[in-house]
């Protein structure tokens, strides 16, 4: 069983060749399909998003599309405001909002593996009264998934109350859901990397492994029979 994990797309179409090369059993996109970092024009971003949604529709059972903060911004939700707004992309995404939401989800759980755009904070779940990670995907798009700072001057996502679309790795390491390996994008990294975090909560020691995967178009991650492998895109 091979699972392919693709970090933030941001308009890039390299995912097509990677899927063709790997022939995975399952593909997980970590969100942020639009809002380019690479000067990709708006028409190309829209076309690429349409291709991703069509790929999902053709491969419903083997493809997971997660939602990122830039996706929610371009769907027109004011609580998801962030940098890099593209008006034509936003106009198009608002028109396909229902289709996008029906094909995407906030998180994906596979055993002790927890996939999301930015990471799931135990503090965030308490703040918005979500008792179980299994309930997260049942919550409609709302302020719960917008920018929720708990610290003055936090304009980056460093508060433990930040949702799975916003939290940053350093903070996530302090408040992650215990005993899950979390696989996230959102924060660009020079290399896909992992860290095992130990922290104490109510005198109990918890362990959490976090994989940081926002490294397209350079690298992607595969999991084959429980083995994690980072691969370079040539």
* Residue 205: per-residue pLDDT: 63
* Residue 36: per-residue pLDDT: 95
Bridge partners, 59 (sequence order): none
Per-residue pLDDT of the chain (234 residues; tens, 9 = 90+): 999 999 999 999 999 999 999 999 999 999 999 999 999 999 999 999 999 999 999 999 999 999 999 999 999 999 999 989 999 999 999 999 999 999 999 999 999 999 999 999 999 999 999 999 999 999 999 999 999 999 888 989 999 999 999 999 999 988 999 889 999 999 999 999 998 766 666 556 666 899 999 999 999 999 999 999 999 998
* Residue 121: per-residue pLDDT: 96
CA 133, 61, 63, 58 dihedral sign is negative
Model's pTM, two decimal places?
Answer: 0.95
Among residues 71, 5, 9, the alpha carbon closest in space to that of 216 is found at 9
Bridge partners, 222 (sequence order): 4, 229
* Residue 48: per-residue pLDDT: 98
CATH code of domain 2-232 = 3.60.21.10
* Residue 206: per-residue pLDDT: 63
* Residue 179: per-residue pLDDT: 84
- The contacts of residue 127 (CB under 8 Å, 6+ apart) are 148, 150, 161
* Residue 152: per-residue pLDDT: 87
User: Where do the domains of the chain lie?
Assistant: 2-232
* Residue 201: per-residue pLDDT: 60
CB 32 within 8 A of CB 52: no
């Amino acid at each position: 069983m091979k699972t392919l994990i693709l970090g933030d797309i941001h308009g890039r179409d390299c995912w097509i060749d990677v899927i063709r090369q790997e022939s995975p059993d399952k593909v997980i996109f970590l969100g942020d399909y639009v809002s380019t970092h690479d000067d990709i024009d708006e028409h190309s971003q829209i076309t690429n998003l349409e291709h991703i949604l069509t790929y999902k529709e053709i491969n419903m059972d083997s493809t997971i599309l997660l939602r990122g903060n830039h996706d929610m911004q371009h769907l027109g939700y004011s609580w998801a405001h962030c940098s890099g707004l593209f008006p034509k992309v936003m106009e198009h995404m608002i028109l396909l909002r229902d289709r996008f939401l029906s094909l995407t989800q906030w998180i994906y759980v596979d055993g002790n593996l927890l996939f999301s755009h930015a990471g799931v904070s135990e503090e965030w779940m308490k703040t918005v009264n979500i008792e179980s990670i299994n309930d997260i995907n049942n919550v409609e798009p709302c302020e719960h998934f917008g920018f929720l700072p708990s610290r003055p001057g936090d304009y980056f996502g460093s508060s433990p109350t930040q949702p799975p679309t916003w939290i940053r790795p350093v903070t996530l390491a302090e408040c992650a859901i215990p005993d899950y390996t979390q696989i996230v994008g959102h924060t660009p990294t020079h290399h896909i990397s992992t860290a095992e975090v130990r922290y104490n909560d109510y005198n109990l020691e918890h362990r959490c492994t976090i994989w940081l995967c926002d490294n397209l178009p350079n690298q992607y991650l595969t999991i084959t029979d429980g083995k994690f492998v980072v691969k370079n895109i040539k």
